Amino acid sequence: MSAIAEPTSPHVMNTYGRLPIALSHGQGCRVWDTNGRVYLDGLGGIAVNTLGHNHPELVPALQDQIAKLIHSSNYYHVPGQEQLAAKLTELSGLTNAFFCSTGLEANEAALKLARKFGHDKGIERPEIVVYEAAFHGRSIATLSATGNPKVQKGFGPLVEGFIRVPLNDIEAIKKATEGNPNVVAVFFETIQGEGGIHPMRIEYLKQVRALCDERDWLLMIDEVQCGMGRTGKWFAHQWAGIKPDVMPLAKGLGSGVPIGAVVAGPKAANIFGPGNHGTTFGGNPLAMRAGVETIRIMEEHKLLENAANVGAHLKAALEREFEGLAGLKEVRGQGLMLGIELDRPCGVILNRACEAGLLLSVTADSVIRLVPPLILSVAEADEIVAILAPLVKTFLAEPKP
């Protein structure tokens, strides 16, 4: 974020640069602010509101669940956990799931799995390969895995045991781990979200999978942002025809209800035993119902196809608008996870788009990010382009700051 931010609230901690609006309600891909202004939602609560707002099938299901049971605790069996785990393993080809409430918690569980995987085979000081520009969350361990000095600044000492490498360079990972017997896992996002919509190449994904098999490392793929249908497959790594050993999920999994999951294949599914890991809220009946219904509705309404088709339409339209435009570096991404990189910091686009009735975000300073609900229609995609293209052109015609 940057540019215009509201004055600090007297009581809420000042951790976010906020736009000067508050949303009151939504319908589909539209949201209204407390002054009655309507916006087209190109952000979906940061890739969270998979089904948009006030979905006619999700809302009654959640209301039904709230009236029955919101929370029970992991002292007891939770049938919804069985149901959602069965669905997630079916969709991913993996075998077991653990449930939590956020993305960083899912990643934290993955990091613990990797360390115990190492300890179980006698590695006392396990090390995990992570990537430049990665984002994995803001707990002490996940911010240590994150490849952004801004996120880390002021919070040292960082957690040790990470080896950082550049994206899409198989020689670099081989070199960085050469002769190191302590490596236990490789951990990355298939498409980096916060880092600026940087995809791992298909060929590279296959190469890393092969390297992990060869060296007995866990392949851990953070699909918190790029997963759950956003790219047109359930999980973005599936475009490469590979399977990870560990896959953290969150954001879009509950269509707005807080939920996280770490899904594991045979190599990682039995690393944790009773007492190794847990969380109070994780896997509660309300969150499980949100996950189960989100997936059911996505299947029923063919939202993977929609994400692929409308995303391809949106990307092509943006590319057409911006072709040859000075200062426009690239339109990147897949499905409904798109980034438009400019040659300069462009935080102000966020404010101008908001004023023009479009919600989006700017990440990595110079990348405009679109991660709308997966119900977005072609007409709504065209509307995004109609609002955004003139803003970008005007911005790039101004003198560089």
Q: Where does this chain touch ligand PLP (CB under 6 A) — which range of 186-194, 282-290, 311-319, 384-392?
A: 186-194
Instruction: Give 191 or 358: the residue with its C-beta nearer to ligand PLP.
Output: 191
Binding mask 1-40 for ligand PLP (x = CB under 6 A): ----------------------------------------
Question: In the set 108, 189, 293, 341, which binds ligand PLP (CB under 6 A)?
Answer: 189
**Alpha-carbon span 6 to 348, nearest angstrom:** 14
10 Å CB burial of residue 23 (0-12, 13-18, 19+) is: middle
Contacts with ligand PLP by CB under 6 A: the residue count is 15
**According to CB under 6 A, which residues from 66 to 95 bind ligand PLP?**
none
Q: Min. distance of Cβ 224 from ligand PLP in angstroms?
A: 4
In this chain, which stretch among 50-58, 97-105, 122-130, 176-184 interacts with ligand PLP, using CB under 6 A? 97-105
| DSSP code string of 140-158 | HHHHHHS--HHHHTT-PSP
State whether residue 33 is helix, strand or coil. Answer: strand
Does 314 bind ligand PLP (CB under 6 A)? Our answer is: no
293 binds ligand PLP (CB under 6 A): no
Strand order in the sheet with 328-334: 328-334, 337-342, 367-370, 361-363
**Rounded to whole angstroms, how far apart are CA atoms 342 and 327?**
6
Comparing CB distances to ligand PLP, the nearer of 47 and 331 is 47
Residue number of the CB closest to ligand PLP reads 103
Residues 6+ apart with CB under 8 A from 135: 146, 147, 148, 151, 189, 192, 193, 194, 195
**Shortest separation between residue 228's beta carbon and ligand PLP, angstroms:** 11
In our burial notation (b when 16+ CB lie closer than 10 A, e otherwise), range 140-168 reads ebbbbbbbbeebeeeeeeeeebbeebebb
Residue nearer to ligand PLP on the CB measure, 192 or 317: 192
DSSP string, 259-309: -EEEEE-TTTTTS--TTS---SSTT-HHHHHHHHHHHHHHHHTTHHHHHHH
Which amino acid does the sequence have at 151? V
Return d(Cα 343, Cα 365) in angstroms, integer: 10
Of these, 26, 193, 199, 232, which contacts ligand PLP (CB under 6 A)? Answer: 193
The answer to whether 253 contacts ligand PLP (rule: CB under 6 A) is no
Give, as ranges, the residues between 214 and 243 that touch ligand PLP (CB under 6 A): 222, 224-225
Q: Under the criterion CB under 6 A, does residue 341 sit at the interface with ligand PLP?
A: no
Toward ligand PLP, which CB reaches closer, 112 or 215?
112
136 binds ligand PLP (CB under 6 A): yes
Binder of ligand PLP out of 41, 127, 194, 293 (CB under 6 A): 194
| Interface segment toward ligand PLP; rule CB under 6 A; list 102-110, 207-215, 299-307, 355-363 | 102-110
Q: Does 199 bind ligand PLP (CB under 6 A)?
A: no
Nearest Cα neighbor of 193 from 46, 53, 325, 323 is: 46
Closer CB to ligand PLP, 135 or 281, in the complex:
135
Answer for which of 49, 50, 65, 102 binds ligand PLP (CB under 6 A) is 102
Element of type H or E holding 227? none
Cis peptide before 79 (omega within 30 of 0): no
Distance separating alpha carbons of residues 129 and 173, to the nearest angstrom? 8
Q: In this chain, which stretch among 7-15, 99-107, 270-278, 374-382 interacts with ligand PLP, using CB under 6 A? A: 99-107
Choice from 49, 107, 334, 363 touching ligand PLP (CB under 6 A): 107
Nearer to ligand PLP, 129 or 391 (CB): 129
| Helix (DSSP H) and strand (DSSP E) numbers for the chain | 12, 17
Residues contributing to the site for ligand PLP (CB under 6 A) = 102-104, 107, 135-137, 189, 193-194, 222, 224-225, 250-251
